[in-house]
Structure 1
Amino acid sequence: MARPARNYVCQSCGAAFPKWAGKCEACGAWNSIVEEAPVESVPKGLSGKRGKGVTFVTLDGDVPQTIRRPTGIAEFDRVTGGGLVRGSAVLIGGDPGIGKSTLLLQVVTALKNTRSAYISGEEAVEQVQLRARRLGLGPDDRMPGGKAGEMKTELAAATSLRDIMASLDRDDAPEIVVIDSIQTLYLDSLDSAPGTVAQVRTCAAELIRLAKSRGFTLLLVGHVTKEGQIAGPRVLEHMVDTVLYFEGERGHHFRILRSVKNRFGPANEIGVFEMSDRGLAEVPNPSALFLAERHGNVSGVSVFAGIEGTRPVLVEVQALVSPSPLATPRRAVVGWDSARLAMILAVLETRCGLGLAGSEVYLNIAGGLRITEPAADLSVALALVSSLSDRSVPGDLIAFGEIGLSGEVRMVAQAETRLKEAAKLGFKRAILPKRMTQAGGKPIRVPGLALVEIGHLQEMIDWLYNEVRSNALQATVSASRQQHNKG
């Protein structure tokens, strides 16, 4: 009898290899390849046995209405597309201690007239109860007809998938099930340890199958790697219907819930929360909160009008350019792409003649938000030029636009939405690319907002220099007039 072939699987990306190696050739991770039990091969032929067939329908057939359960937490409902869908699977990832368990505990207790089950594999039931009491989630919110003090959320501490499936596979199964976390579950028929690729993939597949057959909503908590990706194979993200990332700095009070994938709503949507001693509080207007601590007349600061999903968000871009005694100056970036910063520095130096090669550059997106869209290029360049020349950007100015390698400023999407949000918050001027038009082909006009259209990065530098010089001249004239009046 032939010996079964050994199977070595990378625990970071799920790639399989015939032999062990120190480095995964697929994702580049070191010491992540682990031997797993061989999987029986599928028979090569159908051996004459036919299946029962597949039922086909037309595209214009009757579509059942999607049943959603609004949680009552507006920011969470925005990210999920209006609420939790019946029979769907949602994967939530984030750094340890960022607030994933706190958020889900608030979600299940905020649902009205809904039975929920919170299954923890990392904490005891008493720990979850203590957190609920600390957050003020008491027994006042209960099912209709329930007894006084009877909570509609059931708690359990378990890691065996077989036990969890036996508890949920019944006619009176809960409508919402939270698994915290998927990396702690194990199936006894597999030889690998909990958290490995085989265990995570198998446990998730069985839970998702049960959720769709029984019709309850499944919320899975996933650990993340050092790179910020959900631990385990990427196939886990393809198995679920929605993937959410909970972002934020540990020492910062803002938390961002970002939708990376959503089969029942828009992707790249964000929800903003504020961490306090009473849990996570919603932030309905994040633009006003991100700009609440602005200080005027400071060089190296600009305001970017961005779009996160369907929501316009205004954030402050901070840059600091200082001389460096090192042969290789340092570049530090927080909240933005470091490769894109290097490109903008090269464009400023090559196309605009600014000397930045011997300077250290520090860039920060205030508020803990991470920006990914290229429309922030113009605002970043404005902050860099302001810091290098020590000329402050006017406080009533916003900027957005994509920068090309030749220095041209390119158009971006949803310009009118960005401008309306800026006008609502009291901004008076905006720097944007030329030829920006509405969907109907008409030029954009926003009441109360003066538009400064530029086609090249050099035009922005010239405008900033002339604007600051004009303001300085006006301030000097005003001061002399006051002195003359006093005399």
Structure 2
Amino acid sequence: MAKSRQIYVCSECGAEYTQWYGYCKECDSYGTISEEPIEISPTTGNRGGWQSGTRSQGRADTPAQPRVSLKFSQINNNNQARFPSGYGELDRVLGGGIVPGSLVLIGGDPGIGKSTLLLQVANQLSVSLPRILYVSAEESGQQVKLRASRLGVGVVEEDEPLVHQNGHNKSNKKAKTREDIDENNLYVMPETDLEEILRELESLKPQVAVIDSIQTLHFASLTSAPGSVAQVRECTSALMQVGKRENITLLIVGHVTKEGAIAGPRVLEHLVDTVLYFEGDRYASHRLLRSVKNRFGATHEIGIFEMADKGLVEVDNPSELFLGNRDELAPGTSTIVACEGTRPIVVELQALVSPTSYTSPRRSTTGVDYNRLQQILAVLEKRVGIPLSKLDAYVASAGGLNVGEPAADLGIAIAIVASFRDRIVDPRTVLIGEVGLGGQVRLVSQMELRLKEAAKLGFKRAIVPKGQSFPDDVGLEIVPIGKVIDAIIAAIPSERGIKQVAEEE
């Protein structure tokens, strides 16, 4: 009989201790250490956990096959060709498609659309692949089908000829369920028991399996509750072994903590191949899919979706989503071109500067880094001479897009000055540049992509750092500037220079 003892595990990093502490020495977290029971095998001395080949009597008697190492040049990767997910935005974030046998972890706030996205992806994959498994550990089969019916999952379009009174035929799209045309390649398994899920994976051998979610799976050999550090670690490890051995792609849903990190031990993110975060304001329609770890691609790409009545829809032109209403211009607005990976996005920035009624002025940001705002306000007051230390300052990006790159500095500065002077920036002008502490405007990367995106959307002029290289046929009037004060004079219409304006104030 297996012996049981207690250990203390940090829920953030998975560090183990023999006694309780209020502080984790490994990850510097407070209040994250909790008691976890474990079982020790009396014969092997190992912890009770899932072991490959011990679940069935037949495999337990089979001797292990010796492994043979190969030279690097002898490894054949022809079967590792990526295949599309059916959604170009997801393929972009994954680095060009899904890698067979990979583990992809998708996290996000509750209600953001993780299950909706993966159910739609599973439906698209079932059209081109013979077997797709959707494991629902949070919903019953009837609940999954009810949600799928709302999203249109399991319905295909088929041409059906209609005969009119004049005898002519006309093609008509008629919706039929997959059961009607015998193309049901999407399998649903409502189950929380890890043993049953592993058995189904080895029996069905699907090309792709969705696990929704890892925190609700339960391994019976462990006495801890589902979602605990030990359960999440063992369940992920077992799924990884089966997925790699059977070449099954696993798309795993992960819950997040109140701080926004993936719930469970940090080792969970180390085990998987790719970690994606599904972000967005739950009161807004758009959603951002961002990669923070990717063994098979870059981590700076984002995918943009919009939540509609029939689920998530890809956004082909995100610049239109974050430009706001260009017909109603107001003082304190400017336009920048941000870059998320290789994708340029034109974003409207809004600023409001007003007298404060408090001892300390209030600073607030939405979609813009708070520390960058403080730095730009200090530069404007010290280098340009605009008195902002006793004024409230509010800066926001249209649509709530998180703009964190330094290339947005110039747009923030111009929006603040325009609000201070109660003037309207030319709506046909985009501003690109990083603001230094000395008041200079620094060079930024990917300028050609930014300028081409602005020209495509109808902008006429771009204010950029002096010395920035770009092609001659970009289709915009380029205004090179070296300092912030030069950008203010070029961007904000004024009969007098900004120095005289600052002196009057």
Asked if TM exceeds 0.5, the reply is: yes
Which residue of 96, 99, 110 corresponds with 1:82? 96
SS in structure 1 of the partner of residue 80 of structure 2: coil
Mapping of residues 24-423 of structure 1, within 5 Å: 24=24, 26-27=26-27, 29-37=29-37, 55=69, 57-58=71-72, 63-64=77-78, 66-111=80-125, 112-114=127-129, 115-140=131-156, 148=181, 150-170=183-203, 172-423=204-455
Which residue of 451, 455, 472 corresponds with 2:482? 455
Q: 1:84 to 1:58 in 2, by over 3 A?
A: closer
Deviation for aligned residue 1:20: 2.0
For the Cα contact (< 8 Å) 1:184–1:195, is it kept in 2?
A: yes
Q: 1:236 to 1:415 in 2, by over 3 A?
A: same
For the Cα contact (< 8 Å) 1:254–1:368, is it kept in 2?
A: no
SS in structure 2 of the partner of residue 69 of structure 1: coil
Task: Return the alpha-carbon distance in structure 2 between the equivalents of residues 336 and 257 of structure 1.
Answer: 18
For the Cα contact (< 8 Å) 1:301–1:393, is it kept in 2?
A: yes
2:486 alignment partner AA: E
Q: 1:428 to 1:58 in 2, by over 3 A?
A: same
1:91 alignment partner AA: L
Match of 1:469 in 2: 495
Task: Return the alpha-carbon distance in structure 2 between the equivalents of residues 187 and 381 of structure 1.
Answer: 55
Task: Return the alpha-carbon distance in structure 1 between the equivalents of residues 212 and 495 of structure 2.
Answer: 58
Task: Return the alpha-carbon distance in structure 2 between the equivalents of residues 249 and 174 of structure 1.
Answer: 34
For the Cα contact (< 8 Å) 1:92–1:243, is it kept in 2?
A: yes
Deviation for aligned residue 1:52: 7.0
Deviation for aligned residue 1:403: 1.9
2:284 alignment partner AA: H
For the Cα contact (< 8 Å) 1:420–1:446, is it kept in 2?
A: no
Structure 2 stretches lacking a partner, 5+ long: 47-64, 159-177, 497-505
Task: Return the alpha-carbon distance in structure 1 between the equivalents of residues 79 and 467 of structure 2.
Answer: 42
Deviation for aligned residue 1:175: 1.0
For the Cα contact (< 8 Å) 1:141–1:151, is it kept in 2?
A: no
Deviation for aligned residue 1:429: 0.9
For the Cα contact (< 8 Å) 2:324–2:398, is it kept in 1?
A: no
1:71 alignment partner AA: S
Q: 1:322 to 1:122 in 2, by over 3 A?
A: same
For the Cα contact (< 8 Å) 1:95–1:223, is it kept in 2?
A: yes
1:245-273 CA-to-partner distances (Å, cap 9, x unmatched) read 11111111111111222222222211111
Q: 1:340 to 1:166 in 2, by over 3 A?
A: same
For the Cα contact (< 8 Å) 1:159–1:185, is it kept in 2?
A: yes
Deviation for aligned residue 1:85: 1.3
Q: 1:422 to 1:344 in 2, by over 3 A?
A: same
1:157-192 CA-to-partner distances (Å, cap 9, x unmatched) read 11111111111123x411110001111112122232
Deviation for aligned residue 1:24: 4.0
SS in structure 2 of the partner of residue 35 of structure 1: strand
Q: 1:19 to 1:468 in 2, by over 3 A?
A: farther
1:415-447 CA-to-partner distances (Å, cap 9, x unmatched) read 011000100100011111111125xxxxx4344
Work out whether 1:10 is the aligned partner of 2:6.
no
1:55 alignment partner AA: S
Match of 1:483 in 2: none
Deviation for aligned residue 1:19: 3.1
Structure 1 stretches lacking a partner, 5+ long: 43-50, 439-443, 471-487
Q: 1:17 to 1:331 in 2, by over 3 A?
A: farther
1:319-373 CA-to-partner distances (Å, cap 9, x unmatched) read 1111111112222221122122222222222222222222222221112321232
Task: Return the alpha-carbon distance in structure 2 between the equivalents of residues 68 and 321 of structure 1.
Answer: 50
Task: Return the alpha-carbon distance in structure 2 between the equivalents of residues 52 and 168 of structure 1.
Answer: 24
Deviates more, 1:147-156 or 1:217-226: 147-156
SS in structure 2 of the partner of residue 8 of structure 1: strand
SS in structure 1 of the partner of residue 146 of structure 2: helix
Deviates more, 1:372-381 or 1:175-184: 372-381
2:482 alignment partner AA: G
Match of 2:61 in 1: none
1:13-51 CA-to-partner distances (Å, cap 9, x unmatched) read 333344323344555544321012368788xxxxxxxx9
Task: Return the alpha-carbon distance in structure 2 between the equivalents of residues 62 and 168 of structure 1.
Answer: 25
For the Cα contact (< 8 Å) 2:324–2:348, is it kept in 1?
A: no
Q: 1:294 to 1:29 in 2, by over 3 A?
A: farther
Deviation for aligned residue 1:58: 4.4
1:198-226 CA-to-partner distances (Å, cap 9, x unmatched) read 21121111111111110111000011112
Task: Return the alpha-carbon distance in structure 2 between the equivalents of residues 359 and 60 of structure 1.
Answer: 67
Task: Return the alpha-carbon distance in structure 1 between the equivalents of residues 464 and 92 of structure 2.
Answer: 29
Task: Return the alpha-carbon distance in structure 1 between the equivalents of residues 34 and 240 of structure 2.
Answer: 26
Task: Return the alpha-carbon distance in structure 1 between the equivalents of residues 206 and 361 of structure 2.
Answer: 57
Task: Return the alpha-carbon distance in structure 2 between the equivalents of residues 198 and 54 of structure 1.
Answer: 32
1:306-326 CA-to-partner distances (Å, cap 9, x unmatched) read 111211111111111111111
Task: Return the alpha-carbon distance in structure 2 between the equivalents of residues 140 and 390 of structure 1.
Answer: 55
Q: 1:62 to 1:169 in 2, by over 3 A?
A: closer
Q: 1:273 to 1:53 in 2, by over 3 A?
A: closer
Q: Alpha carbon RMSD of aligned pairs, Å?
A: 2.7
Q: 1:338 to 1:54 in 2, by over 3 A?
A: farther
Q: 1:101 to 1:429 in 2, by over 3 A?
A: same
2:113 alignment partner AA: G
